[in-house]
Amino acid sequence: MALLKQLFTTEVGLFSAVGIGFMLCMLAFFVWLFTRNDAPRNGQKQS
């Protein structure tokens, strides 16, 4: 519990929490980016 208190109350802890949150958001974005199916369907012209 003391570690969570330090994470959200100290300046260094807040920077760490923001960094961790940013990295998790980027991870989710890259998973979405590289797993989406953006190939054209059969019979469709590529524009």
pLDDT for 15 beyond 90: yes
pTM: 0.71
Q: Which tokens hold the place of 6?
A: 């330090």
Percentage of residues of the chain with pLDDT beyond 90? 77
User: Can you say how many angstroms the Cα of residue 46 is from the centroid of all Cα atoms in its chain?
Assistant: 30
Do residues 8 and 18 touch, judged by C-beta distance below 8 A? Answer: no
DSSP code, position 39: S
Angle at 41 between CA 38 and CA 46, to 5 degrees: 75
DSSP, res 5: H
pLDDT in tens, 25-35: 999 999 999 99
